[in-house]
Structure 1
Amino acid sequence: MTHPLVIAGSGLAGYNLAREFRKLDRDTPLMILSRDAAGFYSKPMLSNALSANRTAESLVMKSADKMAGEVLATIRPQVEIASIEAANRIAVLTSGERIAYRDLVLAIGADPIRLPIGGDGAADILSVNDLDDFARFAARLDGATRVVVLGAGLIGCEFANDMLARRIAPTVIDIAAWPLGRLLPEAAAAWFRQQLEAAGVTFRMKISATTVERNGDAYRVTLDDGSVLDADLVLSAVGLRPRTALASAAGLTVNRGIRVDRLLATSDAHIHALGDCAEVEGLVLPFVMPIMHQARALAATLAGKPTPVAYPAMPVVVKTPACPTVVCPPAANAEGSWQIQPQPDGEGGLEGGVEAQFLAPDGTLLGFALLGAATARKQALTTRTPAALG
Structure 2
Amino acid sequence: MGTPVTVIVGASHAGVQVAASLRDLDYPGEVVLIGDETHLPYHRPPLSKSLLHPHDAEGQVLRPASFYAQKRIGLRLSSGVDAIEPGERRVRLRDGETIGFDTLVLATGARARRIPIAGADRPNVLTLRALGDAVALSQRLAQARDVVVLGAGMIGLEFAAVAAAGGRNTTVIDTTERPLLRAVSVEMASYLKDLHEAHGVRFLFDNGIARIEGKGRAERVVTLDGQEIQADLVLIAAGVLPNVELAAEAGLAVDNGIVVDANLQTSAPGIYAVGDCAAFVAADGRRLRIESVQNATDQARCVAAAIVGRPEPYAKAPWFWSDQYTAKLQIAGLWTGYDRAIRRDTADGSGFALYLFAGDRLVCVEAINATADHVAARKILGEGIALTPMDVQTPGFDPKAHMRQRAA
Give me the TM-score of the superposition, normalised by structure 2.
0.84
Q: Which of 322, 340, 343 is the aligned partner of 1:341?
A: 343
Distance in 1 (alpha carbons) for counterparts of 2:99 and 2:288: 31
Report deviation, 1:48.
2.2
Equivalent residues, number: 378
Letter in 2 for 1:156: G
- Which residue number in structure 1 is paired with residue 323 of structure 2? 319
Inter-CA distance 77–315: structure 2 relative to 1 (3 Å threshold):
closer
Letter in 2 for 1:225: D
- Which residue number in structure 2 is paired with residue 328 of structure 1? 332
| Residues 326 and 375 in structure 1, CA contact (< 8 A), matched pair in contact too | yes
| Deviation digits for residues 241-295 of structure 1 (CA, Å, limit 9, x no counterpart) | 1111110110101100001112111111121110111111111011011112111
| Deviation digits for residues 215-236 of structure 1 (CA, Å, limit 9, x no counterpart) | 4654211101100111111111
Distance in 2 (alpha carbons) for counterparts of 1:307 and 1:187: 36
Inter-CA distance 35–221: structure 2 relative to 1 (3 Å threshold):
same
Letter in 1 for 2:49: N
Distance in 1 (alpha carbons) for counterparts of 2:62 and 2:304: 21
- Which residue number in structure 2 is paired with residue 5 of structure 1? 6
Give me the TM-score of the superposition, normalised by structure 1.
0.88
Report deviation, 1:155.
1.2
- Which residue number in structure 1 is paired with residue 265 of structure 2? 265
Inter-CA distance 384–22: structure 2 relative to 1 (3 Å threshold):
closer
Letter in 1 for 2:316: Y
Letter in 2 for 1:48: K
| Deviation digits for residues 74-112 of structure 1 (CA, Å, limit 9, x no counterpart) | 221111111111011011111111111111111111111
- Which residue number in structure 1 is paired with residue 234 of structure 2? 234
Distance in 2 (alpha carbons) for counterparts of 1:276 and 1:311: 15
SS state at 2:45 partner: helix
Inter-CA distance 340–308: structure 2 relative to 1 (3 Å threshold):
closer
| Residues 221 and 228 in structure 2, CA contact (< 8 A), matched pair in contact too | yes
Report deviation, 1:356.
2.9
Letter in 1 for 2:185: P
Of stretches 122-131 and 24-33 in structure 1, the one that deviates more from structure 2 is 122-131
- Which residue number in structure 2 is paired with residue 348 of structure 1? none
- Which residue number in structure 2 is paired with residue 35 of structure 1? 36
Distance in 1 (alpha carbons) for counterparts of 2:209 and 2:245: 28
Distance in 1 (alpha carbons) for counterparts of 2:109 and 2:56: 19
Distance in 2 (alpha carbons) for counterparts of 1:121 and 1:33: 30
What stretches of structure 2 of length at least 5 have no aligned partner? 282-286, 385-408
Letter in 1 for 2:339: S
Distance in 2 (alpha carbons) for counterparts of 1:193 and 1:180: 10
Q: Which of 284, 289, 294 is the aligned partner of 2:294?
A: 289
| Deviation digits for residues 100-136 of structure 1 (CA, Å, limit 9, x no counterpart) | 1111111111111112212365675211111122222
| Residues 293 and 310 in structure 1, CA contact (< 8 A), matched pair in contact too | no
Inter-CA distance 138–67: structure 2 relative to 1 (3 Å threshold):
farther
- Which residue number in structure 1 is paired with residue 374 of structure 2? 378
| Deviation digits for residues 198-220 of structure 1 (CA, Å, limit 9, x no counterpart) | 22322222211111122465421
Q: CA RMSD in A?
A: 2.6
- Which residue number in structure 2 is paired with residue 83 of structure 1? 83
- Which residue number in structure 2 is paired with residue 46 of structure 1? 47
What percentage of residue pairs aligned between the two structures are identical? Answer: 31
Distance in 1 (alpha carbons) for counterparts of 2:249 and 2:383: 34
- Which residue number in structure 1 is paired with residue 174 of structure 2? 174
Of stretches 252-261 and 160-169 in structure 1, the one that deviates more from structure 2 is 160-169
